[in-house]
A and B are shown apart, each in its own frame.
Chain A
Amino acid sequence: MDEYILDVPVEPPKELRSLFIPVPPDYVEEAYRSDEFLILVGPQHPGSGHMRLIVKVKGDIIQEVIPDPGYVHRSMEKLAENRLYIQNIPLFERPAIMDAANFNLGYVRAIEEALDIEVPERAKYIRTILAELCRIGTHLYDAAILAVFIGHTTGFMWPFGIRELICEALVRITGARFTSSFIIPGGVRRDVDESTLRFVYDSTFAIERRLESFEKIFIKNPTVVARLQGVGVLTKDEAIKHGVVGPFLRASGVEYDVRKVEPYEMYDELTWDIPVSDDGDGYSRFLVRVNEISQSLSIIRQCIMRMEEGRVISDQICENGKEIRGNFFDALGNIVLPAGEYTTLTEAARGLLLYTVISDGESNVPYRVRIVTPGWLYLKGFMESLRGERLADLQAIYGSFGYFPPEADR
């Protein structure tokens, strides 16, 4: 395409120096002098979430995007320093409430690692089921947001309808639709009975059937394919260089999954595959997650089939192995971690999740907790993939990454 240079002298306004703007004034002045211009998308824009994107465009082509995150920052790391270890469990599932079990799991495993607690097998199975249920729920949520970003309202409503089954399963297991704080150091809060497991097992098939109709209307819809294919491409090298994680890294052709690399809970004993794609575009990022849903459903079924009766709370924590009710605070209220630094890696729905708990060895609150969420890790890759695309693709790429500002901002 030929480039026509428009040399229109434009004076930058004087307010540039006196009023607050979220980018350096020199950057704006440079845009005024060249034939590029800046568009501020967000934080109140319908297609941006709680984040501002400073988009530099030349005509319709995006040259550069500067993110301005932090609008939903809640200072979780600082809050955690003033709370008991067990009080931090409900706090740390707040970054991404639809992915609560995975966020709990990472933090609780750090405590277990410090205290050397052996978790009973049945509890591990229940934790795996919860983590996979939350993973499916998050993927469906992201698919819905992607659909509404590219204007497909049916693709928005159906995943939320399917997700009701996940919520119902979580209600029957834990008592809450999400943010259940069900995972505690040493196991889970209480045992799950046979009829609930039967419901979860049956609902996996119900979800599978509904996903087939979702595939017809949304996943294989020609307009959706046209919008997502070949858009926002991250090659394998770029994805590794910019530190992209999770399904988005796997969509660029890197076979990396924490559940395979450093297995935790029951993942090494179950049979499942890592969905990988080589294209690295928006559509493959979406398809990888769609395939992960079916893998997760298979994991849940295997867990339910292989589960055996037994304790769900470690005997190091409490006498009663079936339920912690009544002696939760006695057993866990005053735990003090030995001095040191404990790090766990977890594969949350949107990618790698890192917890570091630092203890001084004498107080019953953490000295420091560090949490690095997947959203924060792939933000750089997300911004790089926007380069060279059209302005209308901003929303499609945003949706294909499933970027969730509360998760990234913590």
Chain B
Amino acid sequence: MFAEYIAYLFDLFTKNMVSIPLIQPIVDYLLQIPLINLIVALILWRPFFAVVIAPGLGVLILYLLYIVWFERKLTARVQWRVGPLEVARPIRGAIQALADGLRYFFQEAIVHNEAHRPYFIQLPILAFIPVLLPILFIPAGNVVGIKSPFAIQLIVSFIALIPVTVVAIGWASNSRFAYIGSVREAFMYFAYEVPFIIAVMSMIFLYGSGDPFIAVEKQTIPGAFLNPVAFIVFIIAMLMATSRLPFDIPEADQEIAFGPFVEYSGILFGLAMTLAYEKLYLMALLFTLLFLGGWSGPEFYLLGDLMPVIWLLLKTIVVISIIALVRSIYARYRLDQALRIGWTSILALSLVALVIGVIGAWLA
């Protein structure tokens, strides 16, 4: 009975495996060893590979280590400084984020008396769920968790859940600054979410489907050139959504001292702080799928199924690295100014993008 069950699973995994000709001899050898073959088959099982390794959780963690270091280093270079250096000098402080993470992990997580204790502790962990759910639907070539004709809509709707957890975090903190911060987060949420959804809708109209496979297939010219207005709206919405600097309003550290996260310490703060970066990763993946041709790029025989994954991640990282530069260029807008930008010019631009999308669909 148990052996049958194992055999069934092994069969299931091997039928749908990531094929990488480069390591195929090693995989073939490992598949002959009992028990280890099950583990290898599971890791190379396409849905598992997509969700847990790339472009899912494993790459997400590597990306977090990279972006925190890169952003600090880039900002430092712009500002005539050196940036992180002392942790691992030979590689220019590249594991600084890992050192910070370790420190957060071993620091005492203080829960103050006024906090709503159960919510205060569980919300940063709970906030991970809307971060992980979109990964199920983000495909990289053949490596995909769940194939769905409505994947883009699903990704957008799961990303829209993240600010709800942030507002809840501010509420559970029960502090003045956290309260102001979560109110600001809620205001900003409405200001960018509507133009953002309209921009995505215009692209769905243009491609005629919410399926990323069709979207990538139709991008013989990248989507950025097909609908440049939606491209601009998406970038600005991305800056607003991830609290990047011209719109760093919910977390303004000089005004409200990190807003919703003001009361957190230790590993809970580490989790809450990385939320914006994770959101940036998801939005940049969606951005790459919609505007930069997704995983399409020159094929390389030896890497097989891994090549689309690499192209997708490469484009995403380039987008994020360019967005990191904005931090050292702009000052922070005031809340009412940001809301005015969101509800007037960006909303108008997104409507123009929608018209372009509809015309494009009609012409096609």
Name A's B-contacting residues (CB within 8 A). Answer: 39, 45-47, 60, 147-158, 161, 217-218, 221, 223-224, 226-227, 390-395
Contacts and interface: CB of A to CB of B under 8 A. Distances in A.
Contact of A223 (B254, B327, B330): B330
Contacts of A392: 249, 252, 255, 334-335
Given A223-B331, A224-B331, A154 B257 contact: no
For B245, B253, B255, B331, the residue with the greatest tally of chain A CB atoms inside 10 Å of its CB is B331
A217 to B, nearest CB: 7
B187 to A, nearest CB: 11
Interface string B230-257: 0000000000000001101100111101
Given A47-B254, A227-B332, 15 more contacts: A147-B331, A150-B254, A151-B254, A154-B328, A154-B329, A156-B79, A157-B81, A158-B80, A221-B331, A223-B246, A223-B331, A223-B333, A226-B333, A227-B334, A394-B255
Interface of B: 75, 78-81, 176, 245-246, 248-249, 252-255, 257, 327-337
Contact of A148 (B81, B245, B254, B334): B254
A397 B257 CA distance: 18
Nearest to A41: B255
Given A154-B79, A158-B80, A227 B253 contact: no
A154 B78 contact: yes
Nearest to B183: A60
Contacts of A223: 246, 330-333
Nearest to B76: A157
Contacts of B253: 46, 151
Nearest to B249: A392
A45 B330 contact: no
Contacts of A155: 331
A226 B75 contact: no
A92 B287 CA distance: 59
A394 B256 CA distance: 11
A162 to B, nearest CB: 10
Contacts of A161: 79-80
B337 to A, nearest CB: 6
A151 B334 contact: no
A390 B340 CA distance: 15
A45 B257 contact: yes
Contacts of A147: 331
For the complex of A and B, 4 pairs with smallest distance between CB atoms: A151-B332, A157-B79, A152-B331, A47-B254
Nearest to B327: A153
Contact of B79 (A46, A153, A394): A153
Contacts of A390: 334-336
Contacts of A39: 176
Nearest to B330: A223
Contacts of B334: 226-227, 390, 392-393
Given A157-B81, A161-B80, A395-B254, A152 B330 contact: yes
A60 B79 CA distance: 34
Contact of A395 (B78, B176, B255): B255
B233 to A, nearest CB: 18
Contacts of A46: 253-254, 257
Nearest to B81: A157
Contacts of B336: 60, 390
Contacts of A153: 75, 79, 327-328
A153 B77 CA distance: 12
Given A151-B331, A152-B330, A226-B337, A157 B254 contact: no
15 contacts: A45-B257, A47-B255, A147-B331, A148-B254, A149-B254, A150-B254, A151-B331, A152-B330, A217-B329, A223-B246, A223-B331, A226-B333, A227-B333, A390-B336, A392-B335
Nearest to A228: B331
B141 to A, nearest CB: 39
A338 B34 CA distance: 104
Contacts of B245: 151
Nearest to A39: B176
Contacts of A224: 331
B278 to A, nearest CB: 22
Contact of A158 (B79, B330, B331): B79
Nearest to A155: B331
Given A47-B254, A395-B254, A150 B81 contact: no
A355 B335 CA distance: 44
Given A150-B331, A227-B332, A392-B335, A157 B80 contact: yes
Contacts of A150: 254, 331-332
Contacts of A221: 329-331
Nearest to A164: B80
A390 to B, nearest CB: 6
A153 B325 CA distance: 12
A100 B214 CA distance: 69
Query: Most chain-B CB neighbours within 10 Å: which of A45, A156, A223, A393?
Result: A223
B330 to A, nearest CB: 5
A148 B329 CA distance: 12
Nearest to A148: B254
